[in-house]
Structure 1
Amino acid sequence: MVNVKRIKIGDHIGDSNEVLNIVGGAGKTGMGVVYICYHSRWDFIVALKSFQNRFLSSPEIIRSFKREALAWISLEKHPYIVNAISVDTFDERLFITMEYIPKDELGRNTLTHYLRYPISLKMALKWGIELCHAMEYAFSHGVSHHRDIKPDNIMITKEKTLKITDFGLAKLWDHTNFKLKNRNSPNKNLNNIKIFQSSKAGSIAGTPPWMAPEQFEGKSSVKSDIYSFGVVLYQMQNQGKYPFISSTIEGYEIEHKYTPLPNFNSKLFSIIKKCLRKKPKKRFSNFEEVRMELEGIYKNVIGESVPKIPDYLELHLNSQFWKGYSFQSLKMYDRAIDEYQKALEIDDFDIAVYINLGQVYTYKKKFDEAIGIINKGLTFSPKNISLLISLSDAYRYKGIILKDQALIDKSWRILERVYKANSEDLDTLSRVASYHINHSKDYNKATQCLEKYMSINPNISHPYHLFGLMYKRRGMVDEAIKWFSRAIKINPNLDSVYDNLGLLFFKKEMYDDATLMFQKALSIDSKNQDYHFNLSVAVNKRKIKRNDEILAGEFPSTLLELFERGDLEKALTFINRAITKNPHDSDLILNKGAILALLGKNKDALMYLNLALKNKPDFQLAIKIRELINQPFEKLNKKTLKIGNQNRTETETKRRVKELFQKALTDRAGGW
């Protein structure tokens, strides 16, 4: 039986699905996990979704889910719905095979990713209209209401087209035996937690921030989906903020049922307000009504015709390119090259293929192939900015690898031409800044480019990353840390930035912070050998520093603590460790002599005190302690003391040694 927790990258699910990447899992998603797989029989990348065992507790549940999911699968391909290909059981576990939506160059493929940035009214309208089309189409073809419309279930393609996913999965929640617990317990992760509980009316199911009031009572309908859509529209107009906020499930129920919608300035406010009416009968009746309202605003406010739904042929031209792009996004460059070459056999005028194929060859360090294919694309479109930038990249990286300044200069001449033609292009600005940081060392020009970039779009992490690199190169460690930290705040999934922060903290000898940064880098890219090496070095340095701190500034306080506790044996062990590090340190040798004296090992104590005085003849503390130890020995040698007096004299000696030693430990912050 396939165990979801144990499936790893490189494993096979069934006979045909090789796991390339894993998304979600325990603590990250509410229901299960998605495996990005290469389907060898179809020669295509797919997404396989599986579910936690609690949702698959009986054959009846699985059959019920399959029937509902088949309605999704049986839909003809629609531009605004993620294509569900099949529902299958592999090794007794249920999987649904779906269309894979690759991430864009900024790592985005869900609405959740886009909500980190401001979304324009035009884009919000476009995506809202597309979602309405998707819901209308699904309902008209027998798919029941969704029950979990939220940004994580709304995919966004590279072309900024919306595609809704997870149709039919609500049926999986019916008949589950999972009981809702701790409705009033605080939880910071409620946007990733679905709730389930059987009731007389039906199953309580959904994700609390987007649930309609009636869903908390086990009731749901298309109007519940309209309510959830209203929350999503609100978020698109408020940079991801929720209209209703709570830290508990019970709190969300109260918020959704009784708290008025906050006022805000937007052309969409009246539509959102109607979607979010507390009583279902006061909401829109269906998604067609919502769409008509949205299209009216699009025409009247945007002043453009509403975009048409693309037809089937428009959706499926040159699928080889999209295969290639999928492989490229997963860094499977050899397979991407194969698909792009097939795409050129179908249409050798497709500029996008030349751009991407050139990029892949550059990633593979096949610079001559990259330059050749990009130049071929330029014969069809000689002023194409993306092609010229790709050509500049190929020359630059080839020059860096070969240490050939002439190639780097050639790269700059191409880039300079592009910059003069379009100084507002963000890709161009970032590359010009990078050139000045890494090659010309003209930091003023680099700063100008990056400031211009941020003035155009301050919500992208890349210029902050480049500022960090610039200050790192200039040796301005604290300033570099500040800029890298800003980049992470915008996009917390930048492994190279975490690595750079780790290196900077390492330079500052802040090994705990360095270790944490390298661990975060590895959590994103676990196969990067540089990150593994950096982490191991940081961990070792952290151990050494901690030992050194104990043996330096922390030494007296630690020794004093052991001394005051009366734990002399442990104090002796502690000093012995220190002496192995610094065998000629007179201070440490004295410490050992004093502790041995307090343990009654006077002969050994004298040996170490004499050794300390040999290295440091004017060591007053060593002289005083030696005198105290020698005094009773001299009297004993003359046989002038009775046993009782001897014990009393030795006790007095220890008391005076202890006073001297304790005062020295208390007074000094370092050695003696």
Structure 2
Amino acid sequence: MGIMMDQRKRLSMIAMCMWIYMMFAACFFFMLQHYNAHAADINDIIFKGADYHYKGALDEAIASFQEAARLDPNNEFVHNQLGLLYAKKERNDDAFREFSTVVKIDRRNIFALLWIGILYLKQSNMDRAFETFHEITVIDPNNADAYYFIGSIYNFRRNPVKAIEYLKKARDADSDEADTHYRLGRAFHNVDMINNAYLEYNKAVELKPTYTKAINEIGWIYYNQGNYDAAISEWEKTLSINPKDEDAISNLARAYNEIAFLALSNENTAHAVAYWNKTLSIMPNNKAAQYYLKQYQK
């Protein structure tokens, strides 16, 4: 009798356990379905926000990502997207808040840290920007962006040796970034390492043929070496890319006038007049060219 009672108790316990298991399984299934539906809802909202962002509808994109952040407050991607959108809208305080939220969730989120550094730069807070970019290099020793910004800060602080050191690191980490080569070229140029500067400018143009800033600097290297024809060729190349490039126009006007003065000093008035006319063709209000044409043009 006792054995039967024990058996019934065991069966009852097993039945109870089975019932509890089934209830747990049912609850788990319900929760899983709810979670999947919840996740699907968030993914739909994120996709919609990304689509708005792609189409340039920034306000609608912000609204979508704000809703996603409300549903999933710890979603790093969502907060990063909000930060990026706010930055595009020049809502820098809001952008800073979103990127800071990401860093609170994950201190090693490089995208958020990079943008925090950039926002510090916009505030002219060079010290905090430097610290942030340096923190990125500790997390990721091959981060070209962080090295680039550190090099740029050193360049701003007129420390060309350090600027070159870090811009070289940026170049070595990402040798396909034209702007890094240009910045490194400028750093070399500032300390009169002309050959190095020339190589970096050329690399920038090789990577990005429309990089007019680099083309203009190559022109200056030729000009300062006395190779006016090569300099003019570079600046005219810039104008073929951007006819309104003020640097190229100013540089060409200076070169044309210089050639005109040299021609005049060699008593070649016709050649001088031709170049003053060239100056006026690109800079109609150039006073020097106007003055000398009145004196020498027949």
What's the TM-score, normalizing by structure 2? 0.61
Structure 2 unmatched runs, 5+:
1-41, 273-291
CA shift for structure 1 position 498: 3.5
1:169-568, aligned counterparts within 5 Å? Answer: 317-325=46-54, 327=56, 335-336=57-58, 338-348=59-69, 349-359=74-84, 361-362=86-87, 366-399=91-124, 407-439=125-157, 441=159, 443=161, 445-477=162-194, 479-501=196-218, 510=228, 512-522=232-242, 532-553=245-266, 555=268
Report the secondary structure of 2:123's partner residue: helix
Amino acid aligned to 1:393? I
Structure 1 unmatched runs, 5+:
1-312, 328-334, 400-406, 524-530, 560-576, 582-672
* Aligned equivalents of 1:318, 1:518: Cα separation in 2: 41
Shift in CA distance, 431/578, structure 1 to aligned 2, threshold 3 Å: closer
Q: Which residue of 2 aligns with 1:257?
A: none
Q: Which residue of 1 aligns with 2:37?
A: none
Q: Deviations over 1:422-472 (max 9, x none)?
A: 2112222222222222236152x4434344444444344343222112123
CA contact (8 A) 1:498 1:520 kept: no
* Aligned equivalents of 1:368, 1:317: Cα separation in 2: 23
Aligned pairs, number: 229
Shift in CA distance, 522/558, structure 1 to aligned 2, threshold 3 Å: closer
CA contact (8 A) 1:471 1:479 kept: yes
Amino acid aligned to 2:98? I
* Aligned equivalents of 2:214, 2:65: Cα separation in 1: 36
* Aligned equivalents of 1:369, 1:508: Cα separation in 2: 50
Q: Deviations over 1:476-523 (max 9, x none)?
A: 555423311111112224344345445666666745135324325527
Report the secondary structure of 1:423's partner residue: coil
CA contact (8 A) 1:365 1:398 kept: no
CA shift for structure 1 position 395: 0.6
CA shift for structure 1 position 341: 1.0
CA contact (8 A) 1:340 1:353 kept: no
* Aligned equivalents of 2:266, 2:85: Cα separation in 1: 53
CA contact (8 A) 2:79 2:99 kept: yes
Shift in CA distance, 314/354, structure 1 to aligned 2, threshold 3 Å: closer
* Aligned equivalents of 2:133, 2:105: Cα separation in 1: 19
Amino acid aligned to 2:265? A
Amino acid aligned to 1:518? T
* Aligned equivalents of 1:516, 1:375: Cα separation in 2: 46
* Aligned equivalents of 2:140, 2:247: Cα separation in 1: 40
Q: Deviations over 1:338-377 (max 9, x none)?
A: 2441232232155345435544555665433332332233
Shift in CA distance, 507/376, structure 1 to aligned 2, threshold 3 Å: farther
Amino acid aligned to 2:142? E
CA shift for structure 1 position 324: 1.4
CA contact (8 A) 2:178 2:204 kept: yes
Q: Which residue of 1 aligns with 2:36?
A: none
Amino acid aligned to 1:377? V
* Aligned equivalents of 1:542, 1:442: Cα separation in 2: 29
Q: Which residue of 1 aligns with 2:295?
A: 580
* Aligned equivalents of 2:86, 2:158: Cα separation in 1: 26
CA shift for structure 1 position 387: 0.4
* Aligned equivalents of 1:484, 1:467: Cα separation in 2: 8
Report the secondary structure of 1:424's partner residue: coil
Report the secondary structure of 2:261's partner residue: helix
Kindly indicate which of the two structures has a greater share of residues assigned to strand. Answer: 1
* Aligned equivalents of 2:209, 2:117: Cα separation in 1: 29
CA shift for structure 1 position 315: 9.5
CA shift for structure 1 position 551: 0.6
CA contact (8 A) 2:150 2:163 kept: yes
* Aligned equivalents of 1:479, 1:363: Cα separation in 2: 36
Q: Deviations over 1:288-310 (max 9, x none)?
A: xxxxxxxxxxxxxxxxxxxxxxx
CA radius of gyration, larger in: 1
Shift in CA distance, 339/496, structure 1 to aligned 2, threshold 3 Å: farther
* Aligned equivalents of 1:339, 1:506: Cα separation in 2: 51
* Aligned equivalents of 2:107, 2:142: Cα separation in 1: 19
* Aligned equivalents of 1:363, 1:476: Cα separation in 2: 37
Report the secondary structure of 2:116's partner residue: helix
* Aligned equivalents of 1:448, 1:380: Cα separation in 2: 33
* Aligned equivalents of 1:350, 1:493: Cα separation in 2: 39
